Amino acid sequence: MESRNLYKSYVLFITVIVLLFLASCGPIVVSSRIGQPPPPWFYPNRLEVVRYVYFPEYSFYYDLSARTYVYLDGGVWVRRNVLPSRYQNIDLRRSKYERIRNYSDENIRRYHENNNANRGRSNRTTPRSNTRRN
């Protein structure tokens, strides 16, 4: 009986050591495609399940599971392996991006309409009245 308790303690000790080692290794990315690392510009700081990354300055997404860029082209959301030429001078390693947590649907349009459609708009284009109130 004592040897069984000793064995359980040993297994628990090894499990804790392995978990502590993994936690100290740095970021861990959970992806549906095993063996393919995330792009070099994506470096999360903790364990999280993320499918999309959004680049607010350029208003396009990167799908980590499909390894495709998703962006509006002529009013239609398209998926491409490479970005169009208008983005060719962008250094994605230095660009600001946001992880889209808890959204794994194929249709990014729905997420974008609910969360980012009005982003970046201002009231500068709204005509102002020339009369002043005293």
Q: Is 125 a domain residue?
A: no
Residue 27, pLDDT score? 53
Decide if 91 is inside a domain. yes
Q: With CA atoms as reference, report the closest residue to 60 among 95, 31, 33, 94.
A: 95
Q: Kindly write down the DSSP assignment for every residue of 59-117, as one continuous string.
A: TEEEETTTTEEEEEETTEEEEESS--GGGTT--TTTS--EEEET---S-HHHHHHHHTT
pLDDT for the residue 37: 67
The Cα–Cα gap between 117 and 114 comes to: 7
Give the C-alpha separation, 64 to 131, whole Å: 52
In-domain check, residue 95: yes
Q: Are 120 and 56 in contact (CB under 8 A)?
A: yes
Give domain status of residue 27, yes or no: yes
Distances (CA, A) of 113 to 31, 46, 99, 107, 121: 25, 28, 17, 11, 14
Residue found by looking up tokens 């936690």 in the block: 23
User: Residue 121: inside a domain, yes or no?
Assistant: no
Is position 111 within any domain?
Answer: yes
Question: Which structural domain range is residue 31 located in?
Answer: 2-115
**Residue 132 placed within a domain:** no
Residue 86 inside a domain? The answer is yes
Amino acid identity of 7? Y
Task: Report how many domains make up the chain.
Answer: 1
Q: Mean pLDDT of residues grouped by 10 in the chain (134 residues)?
A: 78 78 57 62 64 92 93 92 90 91 87 77 46 47
On whether the CB atoms of residues 92 and 82 are closer than 8 A, the answer is no
